[in-house]
Amino acid sequence: MEKAIVLFKNPETNDSIEINLTYNKENSDLDYTINLSDGYSLNSNMDLVGFLAHMFLTSLQVNKD
């Protein structure tokens, strides 16, 4: 197992989105959890930090057609 943490943080407000990644090399399985700072909720309007986190997560998706 390999692990990484990606942090998207607004330096002006300290609001942040933390993405904890776990990668299993044996079966190429990628799992993640998302932690939001108190300044965010799932219903918050998307700001630059939210947009960047969303784009990062979208880039990890694999299309299995």
pLDDT digits (tens, 9 = 90+) for 11-35: 999 999 999 999 999 998 889 999 9
**Cα separation of 2 and 65, whole Å?**
27
pLDDT for 63: 55
Question: Which of 35, 32, 41, 40 has the alpha carbon at shortest distance from 61?
Answer: 32
Q: The pTM is what? A: 0.83
